[in-house]
Structure 1
Amino acid sequence: MKKFMPIILILLFVFNFTSVIYANDNFLNPSDINAESAILIDGNTGEILFEKNIDKKMYPASTTKILTGILAIENGNFNDMVTVDAETPYEIKGAHIALEPDEKINFEDLLNATLIESANDAAVVLAKHIGGSVEGFAKMMNDKAQDIGAKNSNFVNPNGLPDENHTTTAYDLAIITKYAMKNEKFREIVKNHQYTIEPTNKKTEQRHLHSSNKLLYGTSNINVDGKTVEIKYDDAIGVKTGYTDEAGQCLVSAVERDGRMLISVVLKSTGNNLWIDTHKLLDYGFNNFTTTILGFKNEFVKNIEIKNGNNSFVTGVNGKDVSITLPKGTKNSVTKNIILNDNLEAPISKGQVLGKIEYILNDEVITTSNIISTSDIKLMGVYASISNSSLFSNFYPWLLIGLPILFIIWSFSTIRKKIKKKKYATKSDITYKEKY
């Protein structure tokens, strides 16, 4: 048996080594993605799960219409009948729904045409209806993008047609999409790949719209990491494709499964690599990450010492439920660091923030939560007397009482000095007469 022990140990080492390699096989490298820029985020928390050139300025093509769509929903009226202006039908290139001058079309039809058919003419008509002009709407787009948290975007039109000044990033598109997907109407539209516009005053036939987002319906096969799968991705709920020669193939996708939402952005991919890249990103997210609960709202944290109070301590609890997307198997590696505010003293109000909890993984703070008080702590003794006195709790009584007192003291002091001076003068005069 002793003769075989070294061999057994070597075999165990090889087995463990290959197991580690296999465990890391699912790691996705930037080089595994064909696209020039890509990102995968948790659609609920915004955590970045994969990145490749996520802050590089790129041409977004029709993925621009995600921002156009959410702005239209938030600022438009679904009951409006919109009249097409005389210029737009003749100025638009690329995808369109053949709008005509003076055509009256429902606002909701224009919105669906923008997000499903990716109609450039519909997007511009919407922009003019809401913003007064393309320029006015572009300003609204940039303001909204900045409010959402976009850092490196500049939009000059509502449809994404080429312009050297019309750029965004994978990161910015991801957080814009995360914001948009919170809107039920937006979600309702982008999950569909078909829509019908009824006849208008200029069109006698229905217009049938079709989305180019094959992630929702595509039955063609692609090869993803050696496996043949359909382009359609289970549980996909949107959102938008895009293409121009300058931008290449672009796709922003959202998938919701078991309470989790993942959002991927792929910019400047080629051919079927667009779908392959997207599948790789989404597979990576679902296979390697899980939403982990780290804390619960009102969970006990610690008893915290309070100065000058009618109680010497207050119970501090977690201010919210804390959940975060983490690599599978890392939950037990997360540690907590409790940081209390300086000079905690009465009075303390119920719900007051007393400090924070830092959740740490691999020496990095991955999320935080406030520590809050569960009760009121009042001042005690002399501190309470001083605090409760109307004289000490309001500056104006002091001002109203103090100024007259100061004036009386000043007046008394002045009169006293005059009397003293007069007495001194009289005494000096008497002394002078006696002397001479």
Structure 2
Amino acid sequence: MRKFIVFFLVLFLVFNFEKHVLANEPDISAEAAILIDANTGTILYEKNTHSKMFPASTTKILTAIIAIEKGNLEQKITVDKETPYEIKGSHISLEPDEVLTMKDLVYATLIESANDAATVIGKQISGSTEKFTKLMNSKAKEIGAKNSNFVNASGLHDDNHYTTAHDLAMIAKYAMENDLFRDIVSLYTYKIEPTNKKSDSRTLWSSNKLLYSTDKINVDGKNVTIKYDGIIGVKTGYTPEAQSCLVASAERNGQRLISVVLKTTGNNVFIDTHKLLNYGFDNFSSARLAFKNEFIDNIDVENGDKPIVTGIVGNDLYSLVPKGKENEVKRNIVLPEKISAPISKGQVIGKIELKLDDKIIDTVNIVSAMEINQKATFDVIAMNSKDSIFKKWWLWLIILVVGWRISVEFRRRRIRRRRKSYLYR
């Protein structure tokens, strides 16, 4: 009976402990969501992060960053004759042959979420939407978004136009490293001056209420404004198939987060985003896990003018760690047993894996603290080479035979010289 009671007591404690741990994570209504450290990409929360989802207008994050990188923002662009009539959804009423700058089109794409502006950008950069989407998919894979496929520049629904919460987080992380992109998505309004087709200016308004709205939402039992303290972007999206989507980024005390919420309804998209960002700021702190120039180890050098190379940490590393676990982070140093010269100063020669609860949370490079030149002596070049001819047995046989023949010939000549000297005495 006593064992029976103890068993159920333990079971009760385990259940309640698990319940306590899980209660610390946010309750997210969206079908897929993720929260990452914007600096390192470390995942702080995830829900169905690799599930195939429709991105709606969050697609425009990728469209805009490509435009910023490849386009000339001051270039004047003439709207083609097809786009104004073939685009549905959000737009800024572009007209055929209307002239705007690339800058105006990018701002319209990110702030007003204009499908016509995004489409014109794609055609301008690549010549056609089809060619531009090839560029989009190539760029996405380069960034690390490997489970996405884009078939248009705007995010209008297509069954073959999809992404994942993880991929969108990677795309947003990359885009937010660009100063101009970051400046644009932090705005909620922008004015396009009159054009050759419009006599009045056009004022754009963002649907990202995190930037400005004083409307109230209930977050974990508290009524708060939708506007979020520290918000710096990024992009909303909606189609009937994708429902409400939102990629957001916020910064507090030097700690920057990116959240992605896909497929939810109404204000839940803002409630979920609040919950994710609150969870990140409340439960994680920035810890310095590595120091630039910190000594790691000396490594043997082959064929070098110095016998060892000193490995040091390449740069300072700060990473988000669960509060209270800063001292539990362990290091796994990955270095070769030896390395061959030449070695340049600053060359990457290894890495440190930072692990918490047996999971790698970040890595930092180990670099050479010095320059090591190749030892240019004959014995190193000839003898130490793996395929050196001096390691062939037959070569040494030839050397012995030749040496013996030279020795015999030398003795014969010495005998002949002695004989001649006797004849002339």
If the TM-score is normalised by the length of the shorter chain, which range does it land in? 0.7 to 0.9
The whole-number CA distance in structure 1 between the counterparts of 2:73 and 2:363 is 40
**1:387 paired residue number:** 380
Instruction: Name the CA distance, whole Å, in 1 between partners of 2:131 and 2:61.
Output: 18
Q: Are the counterparts in 2 of residues 378 and 384 from structure 1 also a CA contact under 8 Å?
A: no
CA separation of 1:24/1:351 partners in 2, compared to 1, >3 Å: closer, same or farther? Answer: same
- Indicate the residue corresponding to 2:25 in structure 1: 28
CA distance in 2 between partners of 1:212 and 1:130 (Å): 26
The TM-score, its normalising length taken from structure 2, stands at 0.81
**Corresponding position of 2:289:** 294
Measured after TM superposition, the shift of residue 204 of structure 1 is 0.9
Give the one of 175, 178, 186 matched to 1:183: 178
* Number of the residue aligned with 1:278: 273
Separation in 1, partners of 2:111, 2:341: 59
Matched residue count: 378
How far off is 1:286 after superposition? 0.5
Q: CA deviation at 1:374?
A: 2.9
Identity %: 59
Classify 1:228/1:74 alpha carbon distance in 2 versus 1 (closer, same or farther; 3 Å): same
**1:145 aligns to 2:140 (yes or no):** yes
1:62 corresponds to 2:57 = yes
Counterpart CA distance in 1 for 2:332 and 2:161 is: 44
User: Match for 1:119: what amino acid?
Assistant: A
Deviation for aligned residue 1:249: 0.4
Q: Which has the larger radius of gyration?
A: 1
For residue 276 of structure 2, give the secondary structure of its aligned residue in structure 1.
Answer: helix
Aligned in 2, Cα 1:372/1:231: closer, same or farther, shift over 3 Å? same
Of 79, 82, 91 in structure 1, the residue corresponding to residue 86 of structure 2 is 91
Q: Does 1:332 align with 2:324?
A: no
Mapped to 1, the partners of 2:188 and 2:374 lie a distance apart of 64
Aligned mates of 1:95, 1:84 — CA distance in 2: 17
Tell me, in whole angstroms, the C-alpha distance in 2 between the residues paired with 1:108 and 1:347: 48
| Equivalent residue, structure 1, for 2:414 | none
The 1:355–1:85 alpha-carbon spacing in structure 2 relative to 1, beyond 3 Å, is: closer
- 1:318-397 aligned within 5 A: 318-344=313-339, 350-376=345-371, 384-387=377-380
CA–CA distance in structure 2, aligned partners of residues 344 and 57 of structure 1: 44
Deviation at 1:202, TM superposition (A): 1.1
> In structure 2, how many angstroms separate the alpha carbons of the residues matched to 1:281 and 1:392?
59
Q: Give the counterpart of 2:209 among 176, 189, 214.
A: 214
- Residues 117-156 of structure 1, C-alpha deviation per residue, up to 9 Å, x if partnerless? 1111111111111111111111111111111111111111
- CA-based RMSD of the aligned residues comes to 3.2
Tell me what 1:422 maps to: none
In the TM superposition, 1:190-209 aligns within 5 A as 190-209=185-204
Q: CA deviation at 1:371?
A: 3.2
Within 2, Cα distance between the matches of 1:224 and 1:346?
59
Contact 1:26 1:284 in 2 (8 A): no
Moved more, 47-56 or 83-92: 83-92
Partner amino acid, structure 2, of 1:269? T
1:359 to partner: Cα distance? 2.3
3-state SS in 2 of match to 1:290: strand
For 2:157, the aligned partner's letter is: P
* Alpha-carbon distance between aligned partners in 2 of 1:260 and 1:330, rounded to the nearest angstrom: 17
CA, structure 1 residues 139+50, in 2 after alignment: closer, same or farther (shift >3 Å)?
A: same
Deviation, structure 1 residue 224: 0.4
Aligned counterparts of 2:95 and 2:340: Cα–Cα separation in 1? 70
Q: Deviations over 1:196-233 (max 9, x none)?
A: 11111111111111110000001000010011100000
8 Å CA contact 1:26–1:288 kept in 2: the answer is no
Query: 1:248 is matched with which residue: 233, 243, 246?
Result: 243
CA distance in 1, matches of 2:366, 2:257: 30
- State how far apart, in whole Å, the 1-side matches of 2:63 and 2:37 are: 22
Cα offset, 1:82, TM superposition: 1.2
Supply the AA of the counterpart residue of 1:281. Answer: L
Deviations 1:374-429 (A, max 9, x none): 3456788xx9452378x999x9xx9xxxxxxx9xx9xxxxxxxxxxxxxxxxxxxx
Gaps of 5+ in 1: 1-15, 399-405, 410-436
